[in-house]
Structure 1
Amino acid sequence: MTATLTGEWDVLADGSLVAELNALLDEGYRNVIIDAAALTFCDSACLGHLVGLHRRSAERGGWLRVVGPALAVRRPIELTGLDQVLEVRDR
């Protein structure tokens, strides 16, 4: 499944996206692609959600990929070392 994110994903963002992705994982989907090309901001809450989705996908034998993140999103992922855990790809 692919989720295309736009704007800012922070602690104030609506949690319905994560709930929907978790529901899809519960239905049997295993692989998650986060299209982050139009995502302009990602804080620690966003990073936490990515890690949680990664873990849930891996528990089901799947994977999570973050695709096309701008520097404002890629940088926090790299600074926290999550690029060693999450698969981050350019477009």
Structure 2
Amino acid sequence: MSDEDVNRIASAVAAKLERPEKSTYTIPDLMDKFQLSWDTITDRIKKRQFGDVIRDGRTYRVPASGVQYYIAQHSGKAYHKIEKRAVMQIHANPGKI
């Protein structure tokens, strides 16, 4: 057996062992992926932040396109509010007290 054969077999085994990208995600999958609670995920599904979802009996299935849509909507630069400097007010001389 030559090195070329070993490399070919190793690449074939590695290809079989790789996990294929999921086509749909359940709520526990999304909880693991985004580190959010069950209630938060279901709330965001009901607010249609994942786009159209598949209702499978009592469970929800979010397609991969919905997950990509959610990531696109919730990624980017963070917004930092620029604080205004405090302005000192100069009071007019009130005169004799």
Using structure 1 for the length normalisation, give the TM-score: 0.24
Structure having the higher strand fraction is 1
Question: Highest relative contact order (Cα 8 Å, sep 6+), 1 or 2?
Answer: 1
Higher radius of gyration, 1 or 2: 2
Using structure 2 for the length normalisation, give the TM-score: 0.23
